[in-house]
A and B are shown apart, each in its own frame.
Chain A
């Protein structure tokens, strides 16, 4: 295990609320690390509607999801947070008063005085195809991510999907696999045109197979796949031998490990105190779409407000001796110095 990373606050979730919390904490001299399961910041704004305009950010009549995410990154730059992307927080353990040890699925350990959960709708996780009897194969011969390419050397692989993930892994694994069969429901791909061309060239040269259809049935035993049946749109079925299947159907939001953290919940949402946005566990806060309280609105602007208020309470844990004097960025030289403008 790697060494423990010590920080004031760990923020879980890099959507707009998590990013803005970095700003509000930074103004109070509180250092942050931020973990997000996606490989990029922006959360739902970047993943679900990067190009869609948002019309209800105060003072900004119209901005896209990606634009908002980019602007927030620019705004928090003076505070230089450390990002841990493509990782999921799996455990939170109380080791002090309050002091938390937080672990991720990538094997990292953090020690921090407060945790802010800004996890939106939960964690983005791969969609699992509804194929009857798929469960025993999962993580044994059906994988939703490639952790080590070497595991697929010399294997017959079935890769399913029509986007960049399916195409990229097809191109990356084709040279080392025994045979790659790409399965897609239609003969049109939404992935990058260059990848599509490369894949088509491999198919034309006979180096891999492309089957148009949907996986209908799996064969195998004890978690080991041996074949899959692929049904085309006219109902014809073809059986393909395979040792492993990699389905790529995009992501969906799941609550994930949060439900194991002994937090008071209401229908998959975390209950908070509305003056501090602290949960029932002192030092653990929840802001943005993931929390609930009387009158809650799932708006980005509400999450910004929640981040500002929770920072005040977090200050109390990080600097128990210091009295917090409220200041405005417009008039405080001290705040302006932190922002690098004075």
Chain B
């Protein structure tokens, strides 16, 4: 091993100028990152030159790993998690010597592990680039990657996986309920309808009260700024951890370049960013567009191996396997996070409780004023992320995560089993699962701007997926209600049921309620009288009038936080917007039975509006 420092070696080999070395050292002193990574992210050296130089420094042979050089049998003998954590891939095993390629300086732990896996062999550890390691892993461990990304959670705990849509007990319960209702309608139709009407009305009432309480709690939390700008400025960048950013993309060649630019604008040391852009195998166009954007060395392109499933959580699970950061966040291709969001997240984790597994940034839309749909969507998101989620946080209730901008402790995320690839709202599911495991989810005062759906068909596809995912999540966590209450507590369990199970139910039942109301108003029929005794009628009227009024009201004040006052009147149109939700809910219910895992792709890049500066 050479005692010459890396910078000197590179200068001596003519791969780095003294000026570049000086600049890199300045940067290294500022962020505390290793020089080699600093040089790479600053673009002063190539990966191959760096690896070759490091090999010389460490007294190891350099090797450029081609996939054909890897003996799959020998490579697969080394466990995938060890391969990932040591960044080392066994290349050949002739019975006497095992040739291993590593992207890091071989540590005693690696050598000990290799000696256990390949006993009696001599070890020939050579140095290669990180890219070569990643590529070798993706080829030799393809099946393991697929299995881990799809069935990882299922194998770890079937009870938490949405792979099984219904448990036998749930299924039996639904069948008995359905047949019971049918028999009741046959034998005692009026009584049965009354018995159905009572819980439905009470459910409406409970949801109205719940959302009002949570919304008001969120409003009270409005003035609580968790992380201030001064806090962010005071941060010592040398203490910042490596941050992994997962960007799952699929057929988004039109927006991938913007994302890479947006990531470049993040206020976070670039050499501490581990950006993993996750491409699907059947999407070469987006990969080509990303390559054309020529991102820095902090950006890695990962091609997710095709498997039985192609969903965003599956891609994220692959990214989780490769992730090197202490924290991890997901952004969609069209996201525009506020630049200091990562630092705020780091500070939130530092200040938060030890069981804080995740912090959620707010989501909002930069094309909010594009059309009626985007305005209604913005109203909804403003209430959801600025009031409802803070309210849930304040009331210590389970928080369903949003689709992006959820920041994790990577280790906790791995402990939780990553995302459920069978759940089409894997984010909401993960938030609830974290709560069930005793972890907390927090909210930070940072916003990621997204593109609101401007087309109805696109909106319906996206919304039906979300509602279907809520149905899946409700089914998963209601498999054992007693365990749910025991683990999460009664209040949290009730909050979860009202929010996750109640939302799709309300959307499904809403058209019936509206239909009955309109039918009664138009015909003045007395036929409904037997199923609406006076006390129930007043309760229904309360739900209809006051419930809707409250929902409209909380939507109205949702926009004040963002100063989008022009949207206030649009809150009056919410009843029409909710009808769209009902349509999506019906579609979701149908898909739950016919295509439970089908991922309704939301098309991005339709807007003509740009992200806020």
A, B from the same assembly: no
